[in-house]
Copies of this chain bind each other. A is one copy, B any other.
Amino acid sequence: MPDSKASNDTRERILDVAERLFMQHGYEATSMRSITGAAEVNLAAVNYHFGSKEALLREVFRRRLAWLNQQRLQALDRLEEAAGGAPLKPSQILEAFFGTLLRMGEEPSLGGMTFLRLLGRTLTEPAEFIRTFFAGEYAEVIDRYKLALFRALPDVPQAEIVWRLHFMLGAMSYAIAGTDVLQVVTGCEVGDLAGEAAAEELGDTALARRLAQRLMPFLLGGLRAPLPRFEESPITRAASAGGLPTEV
Contact = CB atoms under 8 A, between A and B. Distances in A.
Interface of A: 23-26, 28-29, 120-121, 123-127, 131-132, 134-135, 138-139, 142-143, 157-160, 162-175, 177, 179-182, 184-186, 190-191, 193-197, 209-210, 213-233, 235-236, 239
Nearest to A179: B124
Contact of A126 (B169, B179, B221): B179
A160 B190 CA distance: 9
A172 B164 CA distance: 11
Contacts of A167: 171, 174-175, 214-215, 218
Pick from A179, A193, A226 the residue with the most CB of B within 10 Å: A179
Contacts of A180: 123, 166, 169-170
7 contacts: A25-B127, A121-B124, A123-B179, A157-B194, A168-B171, A195-B239, A222-B225
Pick from A219, A221, A229 the residue with the most CB of B within 10 Å: A221
Contacts of A228: 213-214, 216-217
Given A131-B179, A218-B225, A226-B217, A185 B126 contact: no
10 nearest CB pairs, A to B: A221-B225, A170-B174, A28-B28, A159-B194, A135-B184, A222-B222, A171-B171, A218-B222, A167-B171, A170-B171
A181 B124 contact: no
A98 B174 CA distance: 16
Contacts of A225: 217-218, 220-222
